[in-house]
Structure 1
Amino acid sequence: MSARLCSVEEIAHQAYEIFQQLAPDNLSEQDIEQFNLHYEDYGFIEDSEPDDSWQDFVSLEIEPEHFVQVLIGIEYEDGDEVFAKILISRDLDAPFCHVLWKQNGSE
């Protein structure tokens, strides 16, 4: 039986909704203000295949076709500021999400 997967676009949208819900509890007020001020013009939601670093944070096997890595941040001239790096499952029958938040002025 094959997994029921939602599209990468749908899962990236879901990751952004999770970011919006959890950001007030995980980012500083200054980070939230910065994000809200610049997101419309310079913000990004970037999806990709999960990188190997997730194995340091989660104990499950990350199958690239079942998971998406989503970065949410602001693109500045001198580099990107990533506010959240999210690992999220595309499998509708096995929901999973893990967020790595920006910490103390670093990514």
Structure 2
Amino acid sequence: MPHQLDPDNAIDIAYDIFLEMAEENLDPADILLFNLQFEERGAVEMVETAENWDEEIGVLIDPQAYAEVWVGLVNAQDQMDDIFAKVLISHDQENPEYHIVWKK
């Protein structure tokens, strides 16, 4: 079993990937919204790895082998209600793998 990424590392890696790829994968309006709102309402959170990634990416994964991080904006109740990206990162950093589901 590969060494588990700690949440801070997973969040840093996911956010870096997000920033690198957002321009090619998000609507310009969403990028503007994100940039304007992130300081006030932005959140990057590690969540429990979902079981249904195969529906999103067409590949079965072992949820134990990946960290899942969401990048988005939170509402007044501190709930992330606008998710720009869900990033799946492998715990195996020798052979890092990641998948992203972007906001449609």
TM-score (norm 2): 0.86
Partner of 2:42: 43
Amino acid at match of 1:102: K
Return the alpha-carbon distance in structure 2 between the equivalents of residues 5 and 58 of structure 1.
24
Q: Hey, which bits of structure 1, 4+ residues long, moved more than 6 A? A: none
Matched residue of 1:50: which SS?
coil
Unpaired segments of 5 or more residues in structure 2? none
When residues 17 and 52 of structure 1 are mapped into structure 2, their CA distance, relative to the original with a 3 A threshold, is same
Deviation at 1:94, TM superposition (A): 2.6
Matches within 5 A, 1:1-107: 2-56=1-55, 57-64=57-64, 66-77=65-76, 80-103=81-104
Matched residue of 1:25: which SS?
helix
C-alpha RMSD of matched pairs (Å): 1.8
Deviation at 1:40, TM superposition (A): 0.6
Amino acid at match of 2:46: D
Unpaired segments of 5 or more residues in structure 1? none
TM-score (norm 1): 0.83
